[in-house]
Structure 1
Amino acid sequence: MDRQTIVVKIGTSSLTDGRGRLDQGWLRHHVRSLIELKRRGARVVLVSSGAIAAGFHELGLSERPRTLAGKQAAAAAGQGALVQYYREQFAAAGEICAQVLLTRSDFDHRRRYLNALNTLNFLLDKGGVPVINENDSVSVEEIRWGDNDTLAALVAGLLQADWLLLVTNTDGLFNEDPRRNPSARSIPHLTRVEDRLIADLNDSKHPLGSGGMRSKLLAAKRAAETGVQVYIGTPKRKSDWMRGSIEGKGSGTYIDRSSGHVSRKVQWITVHSAPGGQVEVDEGAVCALLRKGGSLLPCGVVKVKGRFEEGEIVSVTDSLGRSIGRGVVRYSADFLDRVKGWKSSEVQAVQPGSPEEVIHRDDWVAVTAVEES
């Protein structure tokens, strides 16, 4: 376990009591389990839900708010309390933790993406345990993930983690809903997460949380495709249950990584960032990009959609609208729309110093390399 990086996501259902309040007994237990992993040499990262659950009672609400404004207000009230609980429990054991709040846009922009990586690695190198949550109190719908399962998968990929543990109130995947059919059979192992399996799942949710098993499988698929081993299961009362899960002794579901670790640059282009727009290219450009290892030149661009600036990610499609990949664009949308179909020399005559390539081959990933999400 020495130097393994382990990302643990704990859902709201595993942090609260029957009334929806934070259960400090469970919280202490989770911290002990995390420390047990750390003291065996692992680099441990916690992605914790629970901020909204910690805050809505303080606001005098009888149930989890449903509106975005209500959720943000509850998160603002509860985030400090949640992190304070963690700080007290880690400190009591002589360990340190540090709060890290992220939004979707932190992964969309390359510089912020690398800043997040550097911050997390610095904390880990200093022996700290990053406690990560989405910045719910300021996020708006357009830049939210919607659940911490996706956030945990992206963090695991960012850190090129060895493991992602998704801690929830259902002990892994079953062939039927075990709450409705006590005879439902567990599925202890998946070599890969099929799209058909995700589509067939009923995305039932815990009343206090925002995710469901479908959400967890989507996150597991994303993590596995970037080289992370995944385990989905319920917490156990023994403090070494997380270590046992890593060692293959868990009673939940294990999901194999589908490949070796994918480079962070490829992850950022294909998985972590949302495309700022779309560029349609002609058949010559399709051939250059997919079969000849070439770059995309202005002369191969047919149509430009969306508003993007130099350095953003764009999706590239053929004349039939089929996605062929993604890349880092070197032209703004306005300028590219103006010079589409031109030769590079013609572009440079109009605007000296312009790059020859719209997307350089070093900043290009074909859609087959990492399946688009």
Structure 2
Amino acid sequence: MLFEKYQLNQISLSNRIVMPPMTRSRSAAGNVATELMATYYAQRASAGLLISEGTQISQQGQGYAWTPGIYTPEQIAGWKQVTDAVHSAGGKIFAQLWHVGRVSHTSLQADGTQPVAPSAILAEGVKVFLAPEGAAADSGLGIMEQHSMPRALTIAEIKDIVHDYAQAARNAIAAGFDGVELHGANGYLIEQFIDSQTNQRTDEYGGSLENRLRFLKEVTTAVAEAIGADRVGVRQAPLTTLMGAMDDHPEETYIAAARLLQEIGIAYIHVAEADWDNAPVMPVAFKEAYRTAFKGTLIYSGKYTKARAEEALRNGWADLIGFGRPFIANPDLPYRLAHDLPLNEPKREHFFGGSAEGYTDYPLATTQTLSSTY
């Protein structure tokens, strides 16, 4: 099943393999996507669907050094060379729209102001990747530092961010993306509103589950109205505790979120399962509840092997499967999986920042073109 074609609304995918978003911190000055990034994504275009690395919707939304944005003309033009390269290689690509919320640093914010969040809560020990003054991405000289203390957003500011998401979605389509994915996972802004332990607001954006889901509803609705719901996905991570974001009742919360997204009519939900050692396992009953609540496409990512992927597809829990880290070192991953070939090991020291080394120089299993059939 993994190698079957799949119809994602109006978009025809060559297989059911997804490359999920992975931050690689290689954008140029002005947070502009580069020709090197175009090469990287085009190399991996044999995936049924590529989802770009997290792409900030505004300067305020940035949390790490050298991550690309999609809010200036230069950034749109930079991404256009990426999408052109992917499409020329026969691939499909969505942009992941990202606002990190509190997981940022004053050095990344305009005029050194505080990062923003639903509530002024510090995630102790949560670090961000920063660049030494004057260092470019190809230097690879990033450093990790504790994120800065955030301040709580006003209601007017929340409305402004909803607008920023909608405009970023329009920009993504102008840049040639086939659709967008809203980053509602991994402890960033949308999840900070959803999760009970990161949202202590007492207004219409906090307290009850309905209120905590309001920001998700407003952002998703605005983006769907901007570009069409059939080109919108949302990523969720119901059981992860990344960036200090946790919910007291994750199954109740995230199945309610899935029902909400079903009502809006988006294309897919992308569930990020916890993927670290001794991480909580997502129960089958939870996956079945997702399927009941949401009738669109379901993508799952998180330490999937070929066998686990086929099991998830066979049992109807998922329609598409994301393979994250294996795609870093194996640009021809679908071919390798189809032929049960060994995988290259990624060079972790080159995950964030740097040049082509550990980015676009991994060998292919064969000299055939990546667009060849399986």
Give the TM-score band, short-chain normalised: under 0.3
Select the structure of larger CA radius of gyration: 1
Tell which has more relative contact order, 1 or 2 (C-alpha 8 A, sep 6+).
2
TM-score, with length taken from structure 2: 0.27
Q: TM-score, normalised by structure 1?
A: 0.27
